[in-house]
Amino acid sequence: MIPVVGELVRRNPGTISLGQGVVHYGPPPQAIEAIGCFLADPENHKYKPVQGIPPLLDAIERKLTEENRLRFAGCDSILVTAGSNMGFMNALLAIADPGDEIVIQTPYYFNHEMAITMASCRPVNVRTTAAYQLDLDAIADSITERTRAVVTISPNNPTGAVYAEAALRHVNALCRERGIYHIHDEAYEYFTYGVAEHFSPGSIDGSESHTISLFSLSKSYGFAGWRIGCMVAPAHLVTAVKKIQDTNLICAPVVSQYAAVGALEAGSAWCREQIRSIAEVRAIALKELERVGDRCRASRADGAFYLLLDVQTRLTSMELVRHLVERHRVAVLPGSTFGIDTGCTIRVAYGALKKETAVEGIGRLTEGLRNLD
């Protein structure tokens, strides 16, 4: 859907895009400086280990141990990937056969749903609650003999929901009891607001044998195009995962791995400083949307940089997207691409633009929603 909406934007010059989920800032200076270390050694232009270069593996291990309190078998359980999407595909191919089922929460992240289908597996869509929190009973009821994993994303794309620690612990325990995996995507771990707190299920005692944790540097460190992330897998899956990645990629781009070493030197404090400006835009967006009144209900977006809007209109979500681009020069994504098949829902990504441009885009959006027929 992102290329489809992108084409709409190109056909309507002057459109402000609140569609794609990236941040407006670039990487820290340490990431750029680390590229010099990459260039200084001609050996870096050759293949490197499938699992990742040792300095990056060491930096990731420190980060996951100190910040996330993950329980895992050291660097041997870490695999550097070309973004967390690749980590998700690695996990699928390692744990599932054609026809197996993977439980995902609806609204879902569309790349996850597509990856499951590409792996010849069946996505089992489980509705979240009215507040887009996990429906624990529905998840339990969805598990069958063919289920291989339950997938959770927190903070969430597309809803912005942050799942409670108790709920994630419940899902993790359920997966252990049923003999399946818990795949948890933590790409937006630093993007939380107010009292919301991020929690890593991989930190739970006894979780290391059935929990697959996915991380990304793309969002928090501002270099989405560098394609760098990592996954932490149970020890018994590591060999299979390395075979899969060696077949599809060999190793994550080495220049990006060096940049990642520099980024991790800057650390989470640098990320949180950048995120302050996104928090300001979030507050403005929520306040502006109050002007729309009962025509629009916004999700309680305590995390990531998305708002999911339920709009009262006769239009379908894609019709509304076209209307907003063509009449008001602002782009969003339709809820249908996230598996929402009733009503009219749109996703607003407010992190991609600097404050002034984002505020202008949000103004156009609210004006367009207020003036719907």
Q: How far apart (Å, rounded) are the C-alpha atoms in residues 278 and 299?
A: 17
DSSP notation for 239-250 = HHHHHHHHHHTS
- Digit-coded pLDDT (tens) for 80-120: 999 999 999 999 999 999 999 999 999 999 999 999 999 99
- Structural domains in the chain plus CATH codes: 2-26+269-370 (3.90.1150.10), 29-266 (3.40.640.10)
Q: What is the pLDDT of residues 119-152, one digit of tens each?
A: 999 999 999 999 999 999 999 999 999 999 999 9
**pLDDT given for residue 75 in this prediction:** 84
Cα–Cα dist 212/144, whole Å: 20
Q: Strands 344-349, 333-334: parallel, antiparallel or unpaired by DSSP?
A: antiparallel
How many residues does this entry show for the chain?
373
pTM for this one? 0.95
- The per-residue pLDDT for 299 is 84
Token pair listed for 162: 């942050």
With vertex at residue 278, the alpha carbon angle to CA 272 and CA 279, rounded to the nearest 5 degrees, is 80
Reported as a pLDDT band with limits 50, 70 and 90, residue 231 is very high
Residue 221 has pLDDT above 80, yes or no: yes
